[in-house]
């Protein structure tokens, strides 16, 4: 541990970034990320074995009265005889094929992939020298992160990594409250360590605060991922905002950005709430989005299932068309979408997850010109439907109409995407009508040509004070993208 910490200090000392906000605010989002727009998130681990409740099963199963607790007792027996650790040998991943995963993600139109390297449960999905509780030594006996890196990068997909380790401070703590297998002695490196009492998740000063020993372990684990797998993105869950984490967070960011500079790369960290000083990393909105365009790059992370990030037998899936509409809306507002799938414990991706990705990918194959490499226009869009801003709003049905448009620009063209196809094939883009621009910054350019990206056919149009009128019949429920050439 001391040698690792000393090396971390040496890397920080010799690099362009130091462990303070003034230095870290020199960060700039890489151009590849601004161009990518769409990535795949993967929640897969020991919690995929019960396939019940959600990825918080390891916490909830130790909470008497919860549905996960009752399920665990009925399925596996008393916790003192069969705890979470006893699920590890059942996590065999016997059908895990990283090449097949990468091929699916490529067909989906994703440009980056972010597997969960370690979730709150404390089981590492990669080869580690810090703890024996990892997928290389136990369960699948495979370096999942390493294999995914090779398969994804072979297809030109950028690999990232997600660490939810810091929440492990309290995640197994309820197991101490009754006769279970979570009991002393617990030492650093053990699966359940430290299993501390759980406080208010949004209290920045909740106690007991993470100890220096725990935070040193967190820092070393995260730097091990950085050094051994060189992720181009690091994703962190919400609890890194805790006051006790802040000094360590700055050290981690400086280390990561400096390592990336050594390798001739650009590091990227995404975060929630105000864990980082604004400008030192990319803000992320969990299961939600912004209502208006932002002058900074941001990200939404959401899932194909509403009820869980991991696979469960009762997953409630979202519609592919709705997710595609969200992608278009997010991109028009200067954001990127990180969309999660949850493989089964055996390593197969459920048909429902795969079908959603395939449908999104089919749309992007024809309409990706309006998404990849684009930038924002003078306004993000128009239409009657209002977005409910904020986290955990993905379950709210938006009910977009054919009058809801989103705009992007690239390569000298303007793109207008109708979020819902028109039943009669008629569209009116009000922002592109004949308007007075002598005082207000209304569009007052010349529309030369309009084409439909799906097929490339010219679209007949007229223009008056009400808007740009298009006539284009289409089939299905996916968004309709138009390319508009203006002077």
For 236-256, the pLDDT digits (tens) are 999 999 999 999 999 999 999
Tell whether the model's pLDDT for residue 214 goes beyond 90. yes
Is the Cα torsion angle 240, 137, 268, 42 positive or negative in sign? negative
Share of the chain above pLDDT 90, in %: 98
Split at pLDDT 50, 70, 90, the class of 141 is: very high
Which residues are within 8 A (CB) of 382 and not within 5 positions of it... i.e. 6 or more apart? 403, 404, 405, 429, 430, 431
Distance separating alpha carbons of residues 193 and 20, to the nearest angstrom: 30
Residue 79 counted as domain residue:
yes
Residue 43 counted as domain residue:
yes
Last residue of a domain, one of 262, 286, 310: 286
Split at pLDDT 50, 70, 90, the class of 1 is: confident
Split at pLDDT 50, 70, 90, the class of 158 is: very high
Distance separating alpha carbons of residues 131 and 244, to the nearest angstrom: 23
Mean pLDDT, the chain, integer: 97
Residue 307 counted as domain residue:
no
Amino acid 193: pLDDT:
98
Tell whether the model's pLDDT for residue 147 goes beyond 90. yes
The distance in angstroms from the start CA to the end CA of the chain is 62
The predicted-structure confidence for 179-192, as pLDDT tens digits, reads as follows 999 999 999 999 99
Last residue of a domain, one of 260, 286, 312: 286
Residue 324 counted as domain residue:
no
**Same-domain check for residues 84 and 202:** yes
Residue 366 counted as domain residue:
no
Q: Which two tokens stand for residue 177?
A: 């409250």
**Same-domain check for residues 280 and 386:** no
One-letter-per-residue 3-state SS of 337-363:
EEEEECCCCCCCCCHHHHHHHHHHHHH
- Domain CATH code at residue 225: 3.20.20.80
Residue 340 counted as domain residue:
no
Residue 315 counted as domain residue:
no
Owner of token pair 């909830």: 60
Share of the chain above pLDDT 70, in %: 100
Last residue of a domain, one of 251, 286, 321: 286
Angle, CA of 479, 410 and 370, to the nearest 5°: 15
Distance separating alpha carbons of residues 347 and 140, to the nearest angstrom: 10
| Cα 282 from chain centre | 12
Q: How many domains does the chain have?
A: 2
Length of the chain: 487
Tell whether the model's pLDDT for residue 329 goes beyond 90. yes
**Same-domain check for residues 272 and 404:** no
The angle that helices 212-229 and 246-262 make with each other, rounded to 10 degrees, is 20
**Same-domain check for residues 262 and 125:** yes
CA distances from 109 to 106, 246, 268, 328 (A): 5, 36, 21, 13
Cis peptide before 300 (omega within 30 of 0): no
Residue 357 counted as domain residue:
no
- Domain CATH code at residue 456: 2.60.40.1180
Q: Which two tokens stand for residue 355?
A: 């079908």
Q: Which two tokens stand for residue 179?
A: 């006769």
Split at pLDDT 50, 70, 90, the class of 26 is: very high
Q: What is the DSSP-derived secondary structure letter of residue 43?
A: -
Amino acid 243: pLDDT:
98
CA distances from 467 to 158, 400, 429, 443 (A): 41, 19, 5, 11
Mean pLDDT, residues 359-370? 98
Tell whether the model's pLDDT for residue 427 goes beyond 90. yes
Distance separating alpha carbons of residues 444 and 487, to the nearest angstrom: 10
Amino acid 78: pLDDT:
98
**Same-domain check for residues 24 and 127:** yes
The domain containing residue 32 runs over which residues? 2-286
């Amino acid at each position: 541990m001391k040698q690792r910490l000393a090396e971390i200090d040496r890397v920080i000392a010799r690099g362009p970034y130091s462990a303070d906000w003034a230095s870290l605010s020199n960060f700039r989002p890489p151009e590849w990320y601004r161009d990518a727009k769409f990535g795949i998130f993967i929640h897969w681990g020991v919690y995929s074995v019960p396939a019940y409740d959600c990825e918080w099963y390891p916490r909830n199963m130790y909470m008497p009265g919860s549905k996960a607790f009752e399920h665990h007792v009925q399925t596996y027996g008393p916790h003192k005889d069969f705890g979470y650790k006893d699920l590890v040998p059942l996590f065999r991943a016997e059908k895990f094929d990283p090449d097949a995963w990468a091929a699916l993600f490529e067909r989906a139109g994703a440009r980056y992939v972010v597997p969960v390297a370690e979730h709150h449960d404390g089981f590492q999905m990669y080869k580690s020298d810090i703890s024996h509780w990892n997928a290389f030594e136990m369960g699948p006996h495979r370096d999942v992160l390493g294999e995914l890196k090779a398969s994804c990068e072979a297809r030109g997909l950028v690999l990232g990594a997600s660490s939810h380790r810091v929440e492990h401070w309290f995640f197994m703590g309820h197991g101490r409250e009754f006769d279970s297998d979570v009991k002393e002695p617990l030492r650093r490196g053990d699966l359940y360590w430290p299993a501390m009492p759980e406080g208010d998740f949004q209290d920045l000063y909740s106690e007991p605060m993470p100890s220096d020993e725990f935070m040193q372990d967190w820092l070393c684990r995260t730097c091990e991922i950085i050094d051994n797998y060189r992720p181009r993105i690091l994703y962190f869950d919400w609890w890194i905002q805790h006051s006790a984490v802040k000094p360590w967070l700055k050290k981690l960011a400086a280390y990561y950005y400096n390592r990336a500079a050594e390798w001739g790369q650009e590091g990227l960290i995404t975060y929630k709430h105000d864990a980082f000083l604004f400008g030192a990393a990319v803000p992320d909105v969990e299961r939600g989005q912004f209502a208006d365009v932002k002058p900074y790059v941001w990200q939404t992370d959401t899932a194909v299932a509403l009820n869980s990030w991991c696979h469960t037998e009762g997953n409630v899936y979202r519609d592919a068309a709705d997710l595609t509409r969200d992608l278009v809306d997010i991109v028009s507002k200067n954001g990127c979408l990180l969309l999660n799938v949850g493989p089964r414990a055996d390593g197969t991706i459920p048909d429902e997850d795969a079908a959603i990705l395939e449908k999104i990918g089919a749309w992007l194959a024809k309409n990706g010109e309006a998404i990849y490499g684009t930038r924002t226009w003078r306004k993000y869009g128009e239409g009657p439907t209002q977005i409910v801003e904020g986290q955990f709003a993905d379950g709210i049905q938006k009910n977009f109409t054919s009058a809801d448009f989103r705009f992007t620009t690239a390569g000298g063209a303007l793109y207008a995407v109708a979020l819902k196809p028109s039943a009669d094939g008629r569209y009116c883009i009000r922002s592109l009508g004949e308007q007075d621009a002598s005082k207000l910054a209304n569009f007052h350019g010349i529309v030369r040509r309009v084409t439909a990206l799906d097929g490339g056919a010219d679209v007949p149009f007229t223009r008056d004070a009400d808007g740009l009128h298009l006539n284009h019949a289409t089939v299905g429920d996916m968004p309709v993208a138009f390319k508009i050439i203006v002077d």
